[in-house]
């Protein structure tokens, strides 16, 4: 029998017509965090888990981060979009079921889950799998468990079903026997605030940026930031 694959629900299917500027801007931020935390670690063989439509992987390739890239995602349209980029460093791009990573133990230097864990029904299952196939694991999530989080859960187009604080995502990784080597909390780039044409984009960016620098605990209790962590897999 072949690999079990979860059918992609129509409401969460990807519909990309070329590269979206929003995904491109987000990829710049995400890749910068990977380079910042992982440049000093082995990263010749990189696995992008939940690779979406490939903007992030394309940005890593542009930066020369990683020699051999492998991408997996639950979406068939996402896989098609990544393959259409024809990245020279792309070894393989395949669909998976969102839980079981179809590769051998310790096959990769680094597994990256950038803005993936907040979407996953069973995050520990996926994290254990990432730790199994890679020597180091990078995770980035939005810190949405703050004062702005609604009391009641309602599904939306973002598909976020898990909300984290900087502490809770750290504890999640540690509960999967991952050793956290470094963690950062960052604001989105100013370009992402300006993307929607908001005249107050600059003010919003600098208000959050200065608050994060001056009082990080208070800032993350009020607003959503991003946290990135790099971990060592067990027995590596």
Residues 87-107 pLDDT 10s: 999 999 999 999 999 999 999
Question: What does the pLDDT profile of the chain (236 residues) look like in tens digits?
Answer: 333 333 343 334 444 444 589 999 999 999 999 999 999 999 999 999 999 999 999 999 999 999 999 999 999 999 999 999 999 999 999 999 999 999 999 999 999 999 999 999 999 999 999 999 999 999 999 999 999 999 999 998 899 999 999 999 999 999 999 999 999 999 999 999 999 899 999 999 999 999 999 999 999 999 999 999 999 999 66
User: What are the pLDDT digits (tens) for 16-63?
Assistant: 444 589 999 999 999 999 999 999 999 999 999 999 999 999 999 999
Where do the domains of the chain lie?
Answer: 17-232
C-beta separation of 83 from 106 below 8 A: no
pLDDT at 214: 98
According to DSSP, residue 118 is labeled G
Exposed, middle or buried, 196 (CB in 10 Å: 0-12/13-18/19+)? exposed
Considering the four listed CATH numbers 3.30.420.10, 3.90.190.20, 3.40.50.150, 3.50.50.100, the one that applies to the domain covering 17-232 is 3.40.50.150
How crowded is the C-beta side of 161, counted as CA atoms within 13 Å?
A: 9
């Amino acid at each position: 029998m072949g690999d079990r694959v979860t059918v992609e629900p129509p409401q969460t299917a990807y519909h990309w017509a070329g590269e979206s500027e929003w995904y491109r801007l987000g990829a710049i931020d995400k890749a910068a965090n990977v380079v910042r935390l992982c440049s000093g670690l082995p990263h010749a063989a990189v696995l992008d888990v939940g690779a979406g439509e490939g903007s992030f992987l394309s940005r890593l390739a542009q930066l020369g981060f990683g020699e051999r890239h492998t991408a997996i995602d639950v979406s068939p349209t996402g896989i098609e979009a990544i393959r259409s980029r024809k990245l020279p460093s792309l070894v393989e791009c395949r669909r998976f079921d969102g839980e079981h990573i179809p590769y051998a133990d310790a096959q990769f230097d680094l597994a990256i889950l950038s803005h993936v864990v907040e979407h996953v029904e069973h995050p520990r299952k996926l994290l254990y799998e990432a730790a199994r196939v890679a020597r180091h694991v990078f995770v980035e999530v939005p810190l949405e468990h703050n004062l702005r989080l609604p009391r009641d859960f309602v599904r939306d187009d973002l598909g976020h079903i898990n909300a984290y604080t900087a502490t809770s995502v750290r504890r999640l990784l540690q509960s999967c026997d991952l050793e956290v080597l470094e963690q950062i909390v960052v604001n989105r780039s100013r370009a992402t605030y300006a993307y929607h044409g908001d005249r107050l984009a600059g003010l919003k960016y600098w208000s959050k940026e200065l608050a994060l620098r001056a009082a990080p605990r208070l800032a993350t209790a009020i607003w959503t930031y991003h946290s990135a962590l790099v971990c060592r897999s067990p027995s590596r």
